[in-house]
Structure 1
Amino acid sequence: MTKLTEFSQTCLEKAGVPQHEARIITETMIEADARGIHSHGLMRLPIYVQRIQKGFIRSVSQVIVEQDSKATAVLDGNFSAGQVVATRAMEIAMGKAAEYGVGAVTAKNSNHFGIAAHYALMAVEQDMIGIVMSNTAPLMPPIGGAEKVLGNNPLAIAAPTPNQYPLLLDMALSNVALGKIIFAQTKGTPIPEGWGVDKDGNATTDPSAVLNGGFILPVGGPKGFGLALMIELLTGVLSGGAFSKMIPSMYDLTQKQSISHFMLAINISSFMDINRFREMASTLSSYVKEAVRASDVTELYLPGEIEFNLEEERKQSGIPMSQSVLADLNRLAATLQVPALDEK
């Protein structure tokens, strides 16, 4: 992973990003790839650099606290890198939670911030519960509709336990993240039914049919769409930023995006003793892990556990990379005059 980290940071620095900000952006991508969430991993580096070079993402961040109160704040990211804006937002939320019990921060005029789990886990490191939301460019139609009006707005919730891993929910509100469909297209592999439909609303296993005028669908039908709508309210609307059809695609290289985030940090010690909370969280986890299993199931998993296990494995074995992503990264390396990655 060290080689990939160095490669990413070098590319970003060549594009004018300060070293500490390049490190933040890189960390989120490496973390995603290590957990098997390749849709938010290094495959995103070329589009980030393109948007930086076009001035749609600030090479040097300029995050401003627009409004501030005891337990809340509103940030204006001024089109800085989403990872940098989101990190700052969670840091402020945690600082407020440490003093007032909870800290809620919205951020507008940001960009794609990678995996939401990264910021929720920042709170866990401070013995807090982290809740993270973001809006995205529209990807999903209303139930019964034929027009994209909402993104598959991600939601992450993380809480500490005394066990090996924290409890972590990290999900997009579509049946699958758009990046996974893009990743399948780059690999030339079909997608499972239910991930999306074509421009005529027909079920398809062809990722290109979904990406070329089709739609991804909300998880749980109207329930998922309703939750995505409320996240849009807590991010774009509550921050005073862009929302819904106001947000262009990341891959539209003619204009800036304006993504909004919502960060909530909950200081557990303001509610109860942290050790007691950990014990109770462990008990809750045990009810899941030790539940009676179906006859063909060998192990029951908690949310986030599979990804944490994979991350531990890849710390030893390294991160696998598809030939198409490797080729994209090496094309980027050539344009930036950075040493190419080899296949090892």
Structure 2
Amino acid sequence: MPSCAAQAASRPQSGFTTFRFPCKKWISLVNVMTTVQYYPESVLSQQVKTLLLQAGAQEKDAEATTCALLHASRIGVDSHGVRLIGHYLRLLGTGGINPRPSTTFKRTGPATGQLNADGGLAHPAAYRAMNEAILLAREAGIGAVGVHHSSHFGAAGAYVLEAARQGMIGLIMSNSDATVSLFGGAKPFHGTNPIAMAAPVKNSDPWLMDIATSSIPFNRVKLYRSLGLPLPVGVAADSSGLSTQDAMAASFLQPLGGEGFGFKGAALAGLVTVLAGALTGAELDPVMTGTDEEQNFLKRQNVGHFAIAIDPEKFIGSVAYDLAMRKYLDLLRNSPSADGQHPVMAPGDREWQEARRRAVNGIPVDAETRRILGL
């Protein structure tokens, strides 16, 4: 079971509080709205878990899913946070997601294993895969677990942080149905295929990378739609394959790197497809049951994840690793910035800053999500 102990401080009052913030580029997209409504994390956590249980999810699955969604909302990744609750509730209601899966794990070698998620919520399956990989790594120094018959697992960073919490380096990736073109392609081929890694840092927040191999995740397009904002250049295409900044016209995404360097993102997406798809027994991206089919025709997806845990003690030793990480991050953060005003940041620094801000100010929730949550 994941650790969700890092909870934001609750406000003394119930309901919401309204705030206004300057529109800086590092602030979550939700904050560009003139007025947003913020809620304590404890309120959102309770509502999300209650709704999942009412939809038929098992207690442990509801808890893990809530933990993963609140992780994303806590650090400012609102596209993958509590706003996804409606999506999961619909799938639980229609059978697109199995509300009571019989998840099974099989150890296949000294450092490897396979997990069958049985069509259930992906969040508990991903947490379990990472924890099984951690157990393998304690023996072998490295552990790798493939997951099949899973579904959309939200923000990948939630699961690698579980490894970092236990002193391990964690790496996870997931394939998904085709929503991203190949470099120069005119139709979707790969999924957004996220990759996340966390590395523990002694007496500090972990180093955290969590990226999609697409230009942006499609949930970001949906967020732009709800906010009435134009998309950045070179991130999405319309149904004819032409680049568009109109979020309403966006039909699929372009690979990371944009129109000039998208071959890099397309290759990374292929890496994820090989490890999380071909290696695990999941469906390959171009032929996977699509999200629309899953929602409208009661077809379950067979999404694959690939989790890796690495024990620093089995390599250079924990003491030497801690010293190396501290030296690396000191060198990085003291590197001169291009404008001389804004310090350079390590992966995760911006997210931990946002988490501290939201621990005080609460988490922003859009109107549609508030309606679903009953707030």
Q: Fold-level match, TM-score > 0.5?
A: yes
Equivalent residue for 1:102? 142
User: Displacement of 1:218 after TM fit?
Assistant: 3.0
Contact 2:106/2:113 (8 A) holds in 1: yes
Relative to the length of structure 2, the TM-score reads 0.84
Equivalent residue for 2:361? 317
Mapping 1:231-310, distance limit 5 Å: 231-252=272-293, 253=295, 254=297, 255-310=299-354
Between the aligned partners of 1:223 and 1:214, the Cα distance in structure 2 is 18
Between the aligned partners of 2:328 and 2:238, the Cα distance in structure 1 is 41
Among 215, 233, 236, the residue aligned to 2:253: 215
Residues 26-82 of structure 1, C-alpha deviations (whole Å, 9 max, x = no match): 111111011111111111111101111111211123111245222100111110110
Contact 1:187/1:322 (8 A) holds in 2: no
**Cα 1:147–1:21, aligned 2, differ >3 Å: closer, same or farther?**
same
Between the aligned partners of 1:24 and 1:231, the Cα distance in structure 2 is 24
Contact 1:163/1:282 (8 A) holds in 2: no
Work out whether 1:8 is the aligned partner of 2:30: no
Equivalent residue for 1:153? 193
1:321 alignment partner AA: V
Between the aligned partners of 1:107 and 1:159, the Cα distance in structure 2 is 22
Percent of pairs with identical residues:
28
Between the aligned partners of 2:113 and 2:254, the Cα distance in structure 1 is 33
2:254 alignment partner AA: I
1:191 alignment partner AA: L
Residues 295-326 of structure 1, C-alpha deviations (whole Å, 9 max, x = no match): 35321111111011101111221101122332
Mapping 1:201-212, distance limit 5 Å: 201-210=241-250
Work out whether 1:25 is the aligned partner of 2:65: yes
Greater shift, 188-197 or 277-286, is seen at 188-197
Equivalent residue for 2:265? 224
Equivalent residue for 1:133? 173
Contact 2:181/2:252 (8 A) holds in 1: no
Equivalent residues, number: 329
The SS at the match of 1:105 is strand
Q: Structure 2: which 5+ residue stretches go unaligned?
A: 1-40
Work out whether 1:178 is the aligned partner of 2:222: no
Among 91, 102, 105, the residue aligned to 1:62: 102
User: Displacement of 1:163 after TM fit?
Assistant: 4.9
The SS at the match of 1:149 is strand
Relative to the length of structure 1, the TM-score reads 0.92
The SS at the match of 1:320 is strand
Q: CA RMSD in A?
A: 1.5
Between the aligned partners of 1:116 and 1:66, the Cα distance in structure 2 is 23
1:247 alignment partner AA: M
Between the aligned partners of 2:242 and 2:313, the Cα distance in structure 1 is 51
